[in-house]
Amino acid sequence: MFRHLVRPATRTDAGPLIAVLAEAFHDGPLADWLIPDPGDRRTVYYRYFRDAFYHGLDHGEVHTTGGQTAVAIWYHRREAVPARPDRPAALDRIAGAYAPKFLLLEEAIEGCHPDRPHHYLAYLAVDPTRQNQGLGTALLNHGHGRLDQLGAPAHLEASNPRNRGLYLRHGYTTGRTVGLASDGPAIWPMCRAAADVTGERSRLPRPGRY
């Protein structure tokens, strides 16, 4: 039984949901490494997540909850995503002096994808004032319910031990730990196997490139 209504997000949700993304990811080891200055971080994060939100609407699926306090951005990766030669310039515009670290992060994430088609949870975020009330779980259950009907595997990267615990409880398993540069934090690629007709999930996608 879902306590929270989950629905597709649209362009009219942009303001509140970009704020949810920017504020939810504002703290933590990855944010400290990407943009040590908290003032710069807020400015850049709003630009970065604006780009991520609209990219999700245009190329993936964006889900939210009734009160616009939580958001999940999913992509169906049917095949290897072609290189984006324009991405470094776009990151320069979004992140300025911090762009090289964002590029490094995105390249590391790209290198972690499973070697066959899967659904990718790129972002899961809950308004910091509404965390620990089951909203993230509601979005995960919604996404996974559909994937289990399709018999499709999922992939994501956990960015800290606590959210890794949440994903472990939702059936994901951890692969290798990926360190970001010599001074950067770790991220953990995680896979959730496809369900077969009996509802069992046993076929784990292999980590690595397509």
Ligand X SMILES: CC(C)(COP(=O)(O)OP(=O)(O)OC[C@H]1O[C@@H](n2cnc3c(N)ncnc32)[C@H](O)[C@@H]1OP(=O)(O)O)[C@@H](O)C(=O)NCCC(=O)NCCS
CA 69/CA 65 separation, integer angstroms: 6
Q: Report residue 120: phi and psi, to 5°.
A: -115, 120
Smallest distance from ligand X to CB 85, Å:
27
Q: State the pairing for strand pair 186-192/178-179.
A: antiparallel
CA 117/CA 204 separation, integer angstroms: 12
C-beta nearest to ligand X: residue: 136
Nearer to ligand X, 11 or 162 (CB): 162
Positions that interact with ligand X (CB under 6 A):
24-25, 124-126, 131-137, 158-160, 162-163, 165-166
Smallest distance from ligand X to CB 62, Å:
14
Nearer to ligand X, 25 or 49 (CB): 25
Smallest distance from ligand X to CB 126, Å:
4
Nearer to ligand X, 56 or 136 (CB): 136
Smallest distance from ligand X to CB 193, Å:
19
CA 38/CA 100 separation, integer angstroms: 18
Nearer to ligand X, 43 or 133 (CB): 133
CA 147/CA 195 separation, integer angstroms: 8
Residue type, 63: H
